Amino acid sequence: MGKKKILIVDDEKDWVQMLIARLEHEGYQIDIAFDALQATMQAFQAKPDLMLLDIMMPAGGGLGTLKNVRTNVKTFAMPVIIMTARGDKETKEAAEGLGISGYFIKTGDTVGLLAEIKKVLGG
């Protein structure tokens, strides 16, 4: 079996670069998108094993992307972990209502996120 492919969707380039380094070191193949429109297109074309999705982004936002992914036959079952600075209950409940696999509050530390990824993808 080949490397698991993760699509990172976030407009914070420093965070994305840190995640790429960490996840490639762990043996994952990485695709990236910096806005909601790119994310939807990448999800449909690349068919990643997992999407790491920020909530607050240009061109539609993370929840809009999640809705698009959930309503397409190619991607409706794709695991999605939300990673966000927003810890409010309403945002989390909205994301959970769209069938997420995890919800990670960004703290600058990738250890917890890596644990969530391994739980979802196995390993």
Its CATH architecture, for the domain 5-121, is 3-Layer(aba) Sandwich (3.40)
Please report the pLDDT score of residue 77 as a whole number. Answer: 93
Domain positions in the chain are 5-121
Is pLDDT at 40 greater than 80 in this prediction? yes
Convert the pLDDT of each residue in 51-106 to its tens digit.
999 998 877 788 999 999 999 998 999 999 999 887 889 989 999 999 999 999 98
CA quadruple 41, 69, 37, 39: dihedral positive or negative? negative
CA dist 58 and 38 (Å) reads 10
- Cβ–Cβ under 8 Å, residues 82 and 89: no
The answer to whether the pTM exceeds 0.75 is yes
